[in-house]
Amino acid sequence: MLELLTLLLPVAAASGWYAAARHHRRSLSGELIGSVRRAYQGTVDPNIGAKADEAFHLLRQIADSNTKTLELQLALGSLLRRSGELSKAIELHERLHSQPQLTAEQQHTVRFELGMDYLSAGLLDRAENVFADLAASASHGKASLQQMLAIYQSEKDWVRAAQCAQSLKKHDAGQRHATLAHLLCEQAESAIALGDTATAQTHLQQALAEDPRCVRATLLKSQLALQRQHWAEAGILLRSVEFQNPAFIPEIIGQLRLCHANLRDMDGYLTYLDYVYQRYRTEAAALLLADELAQREGDSAAASYLTGLLSECSSLNLIRRTLHYAGSVSCDDGDCVSVLRRCLAALDSMAMQQAGYGCIQCGYECRELHWHCPTCRAWGMIQPADAGIGFIGRNPAPYPS
């Protein structure tokens, strides 16, 4: 009995408010809904399962078929869904939806909540059907399309996801459509896997039309150019990443070396690395420049260059590489070499524990580049964690005139 009384505390709170509202002939307010929500969340013990049915039926006595209590009924349905009582939430919303006196907008509201019930229960087909019916609704169209988009993305149905994102464009006029651009890139990657480069190119052009700063589309276009050994075209594409988002420069400078090497223009490559470091303090560019100096002029030149950089800024990778080149030049003593190797091994171990990429929206960290954040579900928010740029990015350079 005490367990049931515990469950009925929200009912008592709601009953008091509801009686006052009837007494003063006013509709149930947001204060009432808040009261029920606070009371329900504060008292319901998830371990009390035996009395859940009794409590639910008593809650329904408050949330009767009178449309004046629609807000209360919807609030109770939402609370049931969030507490895991999905069958009861579905029952409540289906009963509400069958009421003939509801207005069209109220019907849409109830139906949307029912779709959310189905989605929470994993009944994706039912949820999709509900949201598809509401896609043209003025009040719930955008939210329904967003839920459909989430469903299609979870199923990796990139074609229907892109169609859904296309429909969402009318709700965000004038905005860059980064999500749609990435969905088109997904279709391009599928086409590349099938060897259909023409279709892939079409999707990538569409992606850049939707979001001119879509780095992913540019990287895929450069990948296709490299496969065809079109070195000049690939080099132009890779360099254009700077003007989209310079945080991704560490992703392109390795492939850019291949382009310059095949074009016999390594001096141009070194000039570009120096430019990138001077403008953005991109650590990866400085390290590659040191490697090129070591090949051309020896380890002492690389060590001298990196030592000069340490006076401007320092990082784990910069210290590691400086010790590597300096040690190979100056350490002749066996004990010195042993100590240096132990220091480098310790630094290598520390570096291995660092995340290479991070989401600038939610802070998720990972060791590989993902275009879709698994935590916040945002597209294109994961960036290289370069020591000179970090996760926050830099302002892109202006497009050359």
| Binding site feature residues for Fe cation | 359, 362, 373, 376
Q: Write the Ramachandran bin of 174: left for phi over 0, alpha for psi from -120 to 50, otherwise beta.
A: left
Contact 241, 252 (CB under 8 A): yes
CA distance 148 to 77: 21
Longest Cα–Cα distance of the chain, Å, equals: 95
CA distance 181 to 383: 17
Q: Give per-residue burial for 300-336: e unless 16+ CB within 10 Å, then b.
A: ebbbbbbeebeeeeebebbbbbbbbbbbbeebeeeee
Annotated binding-site ranges: 359, 362, 373, 376
* Residues pairing with 358 in the sheet: 365, 383
Q: How many CB atoms lie within 10 A of CB 201?
A: 16
CA distance 34 to 18: 13
Contact 223, 247 (CB under 8 A): no
Contact 170, 180 (CB under 8 A): no
- Distance of alpha carbon 91 from its chain centroid, rounded? 34
